[in-house]
Structure 1
Amino acid sequence: MNMFGRTAKRGLDGYPEDSWLALSGIQHFAFCPRQWALIHIEQQWTENYLTMAGLLEHERAHDYQASEKRGDVLILRNLRVFSRGLGVSGDCDVVEFRADASGVSLAGREGLWRPYPVEYKHGKPKTNDADRMQLCAEAMCLEEMLACDIEEGALFYQRTKHRESVRFDDGLRGKVRKAYESMHNLMAKGYTPKAHKTKACNACSLKEVCLPELDRTESVSEYIRAHVDEGKQ
């Protein structure tokens, strides 16, 4: 246990609840471990037009009252999930339960159902696995809770209005487990990784908090002195 009241130790029954992380944090971590730490360890957050657009889109997807049944598909929104094995909890944007003889039973519902998670994202498909890892983590939570296997889900991008199917293969699952293990260790230590400036920093809402420019300067004092001199010109 540390000053954050958390522990990274996982027992036979998984991580204790007081050390569970936000499931969606894996998307931040896969994009930039420092960004994740600034948000989830240091509790720092600022908005830009990208984060606001994404928030509004998720509010629409998370309207639980809009849950519905369409033929053989039961659509649940804002479904709370967790995994003791991964040590995380969070919400799924949408989980489609499709009638299937080899599916699982659901409380209050007749028949058997096969879960199919769908995550809504702003913008367009990315070249990295950040979004796919978050979706896979949601599937792994559902598998643990429902005692079932989930082979695939989908990402829906607002800009393209298109679903991207995602297969939850061993490689992607391994990335999810490794990422959460690293996140638990950083949280337990209360450690924020150092900044490493990339092109992606320009679109980050935490750019002014992170100060990635410091990674290329010899010292903080020189960075401050340079900016003070600029103001005098």
Structure 2
Amino acid sequence: MKNFEERDSEDYLLLSGILHFAFCKRRWALIHIEQQWNENSLTFSGRLMHKNADNPHLTECRGDIIITHAMPLVSHSLKVYGVADVVEFQRNNTGVELEKFSGFWNVIPVEYKSGKKNSFGSDEVQLCCQAMCLEEMFETAIQHGFLYYGKTRRRFEVKFDDDLRKRVTSLVAEMYHLFEEGITPPAVYQKHCDNCSLVDICLPQLSSKKHAVDSYLESAILR
């Protein structure tokens, strides 16, 4: 495993931001550019779900599987850093070598979510970004990982194919563009906005109406 100094990533974006960005670019900008945050029942339950996963001192050995919690991550090619909920090392004939453990091990990222699988693909994007960090850190190839949902108590396999990897790279590049320009995208109201913890800050319905009025006035002036 490569040795990364903390200072190496001090100017990088948070990896966890890609989850918000894939779900709603405005939400990401409110949090990461404008530094705004608000708690609701969904975010609170999410923190409870991560309580054990985020214990950096907890390492478990279960036969041919080593389970590490809250592993620091960084990718210098993507310029992101963060923490993985859980990384499993599964004994195999090929893979990486680990300090204090003999043999070879496959690297498998596992992300815990309190709710259920959504249709935005944001969870898969976050997990793939974690895998890309781990690939760079361990100089290995990672083919798949897992998402565990607390509401359904089910674990889903995610395959890191070319399309998913390209989406990660594209989203990170767009995140950097907005961050460097200080751009917060305008609000576009959708049904899932009502469950967002930032709905009272974002005001998507009001912003969408204002945008419609501005567009109408602009078109009227140009007539």
What TM-score results when the alignment is normalised by the length of structure 2? 0.89
Determine whether 1:129 maps to 2:121.
yes
Q: Which letter does structure 1 place at the counterpart of 2:152?
A: T
Aligned equivalents of 2:196, 2:71: Cα separation in 1: 28
2:81 to 73, 89, 95: 89
Structure 2 equivalent of residue 115 of structure 1: 107
Residue 173 of structure 1 corresponds to 165
1:50 matches 2:39: no
Offset, 1:215: 3.0
Correspondence list, 1:17-166, <5 A? 17-166=9-158
Runs of at least 5 residues in structure 1 that lack an aligned partner in the other structure: 1-15, 223-233
Per the normalisation by structure 1, the TM-score is 0.85
Gaps of at least 5 residues in structure 2 are 1-7, 215-223
| Residues 112-148 of structure 1, C-alpha deviations (whole Å, 9 max, x = no match) | 1100110000111111210000000000000001110
SS, match of residue 43 in structure 1: coil
Partner residue, 2:4: none
Deviation at 1:56, TM superposition (A): 1.1
Secondary structure, counterpart of 2:43 in structure 1: helix
Question: How far, CA to CA, are the matches of 2:87 and 2:208 in structure 1?
Answer: 44
Alpha-carbon shift at residue 22 of structure 1 (Å): 0.6
Runs of 4+ in structure 1 off by over 4 angstroms are none
Query: Aligned residues: percent identity?
Result: 46
Question: What is the number of equivalent residue pairs in this alignment?
Answer: 207
- Structure 1 residue 18, shift from structure 2 partner: 4.1
Per-residue displacement from partner, 1:52-107 (whole Å, max 9, x unpaired)? 00011112211233311000000000000100111100110000000112110122
2:181 aligned to which of 171, 189, 209:
189
